[in-house]
Amino acid sequence: MQFQLSDELIQKLEVLIQQQNDKELNLTLEDVHPADIAEIISELDLDEATYIIKLLDSGKTAEALMELEEGVRERILENLSAKEIAEELEEMDTDDAADIISELSEERQQKVIAQIIDEEHADNIVELLRYDEDSAGGLMAKELVKVNENWSVTGCMAEMRAQAENVTRVHSIYVVDGKNKLKGRLSLKDLITAPSDSHIQDIYIPKVDFVNVHTPAEEVAQIMQKYDLEAIPVVDEMNRLVGRITIDDIVDFIKDEAEKDYQMAAGISEDVEADDSIWRLTRARLPWLILALFGGFISVTVLGTFDAAMKEHAALFFFVPLIAAMAGNVGVQSSAIILQGLANKSLRGSLLKRLLKEITLSLFNGVVLAIILAVGGTFLLGFDWLFGITIGISLISVIVIASLIGTFVPIILDKQGIDPAMATGPFITTSNDICGILIYFSIAKLILGF
């Protein structure tokens, strides 16, 4: 039942666009969902994509524009006049319209807003543009259904019908007083099952979760997830109902956040995709690699200071990548677990308890690995026993230190108000490489003496 994009369809559309066969184009795309139109548009070149956007009904293209990747959308919007963009925005919910308009230059924003015919819609968009992107105000839409606590159920049905026409999904009906202050909610289910002669005052639920326009987006996502909310009303400083946030916006936000943390851990500092330009990908990746390179310089210098070991204990140098890799892997594991705990706010208990736990855990892992290494080394590589002990003790120490760095650097950054995700990936592997090598050779020097 799902739409499948095919090369044949793309070729057919390209031919129809060349022939300017608008009738056949409209017919072909008539039953295609806007999200699929967006997929088709991503496959066409810019002129063809613009042609389709201009041709189709703006009710459909508005939604397709929303689904496009930002880069593609930007280029198409550049090809449209202010009036054409305004027509698309008229069809969108205020939150989507504000998102799109914020991608334009300020000069262009004004021109586009001036072309929006529905003045209330324009006003709402301008209001939403004021809020920070990562706050409840930046996520909310102005579309919602609200009723006055003083109305009767029958009396407000007509009013609600009118309001519902402009709202894609009703979810909840919010109840306000004469000053637009949020009092509670009415669920649609309650409405269906309520006797028609009752009053709003008698049937509304005075308990309602809400957020303030300045509540950070992350907190909104947490509240909505924790309490399984599908929509949450947003109030201003005076407790007046100014908008609402729906779960689909939060789904996108949660996905973006998860991807951002993952990318950060992989040493990618911007939200990039495989199909982005080489320049954009380089900008996201190169800074981390340069950081790692400087870390590498330090490890070269550290190794250089131990060159006295080279004569008698050359084999020590063969184990450097093994030790460095173990330090890096353990550090990344520890930091990933702590980061997810921080993100979910599920870390409880004292730092001391966590310290003891991390030491026990890494000590245990370290001993198991050291035994494998010692046994493997003796049989496969034929170490003498003192060398085996040196490598084993070093491995255990490196693993314990690496896991402590991986655990506590993110916690400390978080306490300082710095994004702890910075401390994963290249940062943790590089610093653990250096520490690991330093510990390894220091222990070797102590035991073997050189």
CB of 434 to its own copies, least distance (A): 8
Size of the site for its own copies (CB under 8 A): 118
Residue 293 within binding range of its own copies, rule CB under 8 A: yes
User: Rounded CA gap, 98 and 366, in Å?
Assistant: 54
Could you say which of 70, 134, 275, 384 contacts its own copies (CB under 8 A)? Answer: 275
Residue 300 within binding range of its own copies, rule CB under 8 A: yes
CB of 360 to its own copies, least distance (A): 6
- Stretch in the footprint of its own copies (CB under 8 A) among 76-84, 86-94, 100-108, 329-337: 329-337
Q: Which of 52, 101, 56, 94 is nearest to 74 (CA)?
A: 101
Could you say which of 137, 184, 243, 328 contacts its own copies (CB under 8 A)? Answer: 328
Residue 290 within binding range of its own copies, rule CB under 8 A: yes
Residue 340 within binding range of its own copies, rule CB under 8 A: yes
State the CB neighbour count (10 A cutoff) for residue 324: 22
Q: Which of 208, 211, 146 is nearest to 180 (CA)?
A: 146
- Stretch in the footprint of its own copies (CB under 8 A) among 44-52, 75-83, 127-135, 317-325: 317-325
Environment class of residue 270 by beta-carbon count within 10 Å: exposed (0-12), middle (13-18) or buried (19+)?
A: middle
CB of 381 to its own copies, least distance (A): 7
Report angle CA 358, 364, 369 to the nearest 5 degrees.
120
User: Rounded CA gap, 169 and 145, in Å?
Assistant: 10
Residue 320 within binding range of its own copies, rule CB under 8 A: yes
Nearer to its own copies, 134 or 273 (CB): 273
Could you say which of 317, 378, 445, 448 contacts its own copies (CB under 8 A)? Answer: 317
Nearer to its own copies, 131 or 383 (CB): 383
User: Rounded CA gap, 41 and 2, in Å?
Assistant: 18
Residue 161 within binding range of its own copies, rule CB under 8 A: yes
Q: Which structure tokens are listed for 225?
A: 């997830």
Could you say which of 80, 341, 389, 445 contacts its own copies (CB under 8 A)? Answer: 341
Site for its own copies in 162-191 (CB under 8 A): 164-165, 167, 169-170, 188-189
Could you say which of 223, 245, 401, 409 contacts its own copies (CB under 8 A)? Answer: 223
Matching residue, tokens 């009036």: 83
CB of 279 to its own copies, least distance (A): 9
CB of 417 to its own copies, least distance (A): 20
Q: Which structure tokens are listed for 148?
A: 């006055």
Contact status, residue 443 vs residue 401, Cβ threshold 8 Å: no
Dmax over CA atoms of the chain, in Å, equals: 97
Site for its own copies in 425-444 (CB under 8 A): 425-426, 429-430, 433, 437
Could you say which of 178, 349, 417, 449 contacts its own copies (CB under 8 A)? Answer: 349
CB of 107 to its own copies, least distance (A): 32
Beta bridge partners of 231: 246
Contact status, residue 397 vs residue 363, Cβ threshold 8 Å: no
User: Rounded CA gap, 381 and 131, in Å?
Assistant: 64
Contact status, residue 182 vs residue 235, Cβ threshold 8 Å: yes
Site for its own copies in 202-221 (CB under 8 A): 207, 209-211, 219
CB of 156 to its own copies, least distance (A): 11
Nearer to its own copies, 39 or 123 (CB): 39
For 273, what's the count of Cα atoms within 13 Å in the CB-facing half-sphere?
A: 7
User: Rounded CA gap, 250 and 223, in Å?
Assistant: 11
Contact status, residue 133 vs residue 210, Cβ threshold 8 Å: no
Nearer to its own copies, 238 or 278 (CB): 278
Beta bridge partners of 152: 199
Could you say which of 84, 87, 261, 414 contacts its own copies (CB under 8 A)? Answer: 261
Nearer to its own copies, 5 or 117 (CB): 5
Contact status, residue 131 vs residue 99, Cβ threshold 8 Å: no
Residue 304 within binding range of its own copies, rule CB under 8 A: yes
Environment class of residue 226 by beta-carbon count within 10 Å: exposed (0-12), middle (13-18) or buried (19+)?
A: exposed
For 194, what's the count of Cα atoms within 13 Å in the CB-facing half-sphere?
A: 20
Site for its own copies in 106-135 (CB under 8 A): none
Site for its own copies in 20-79 (CB under 8 A): 31, 33, 35, 42-43, 67
Residue 336 within binding range of its own copies, rule CB under 8 A: yes
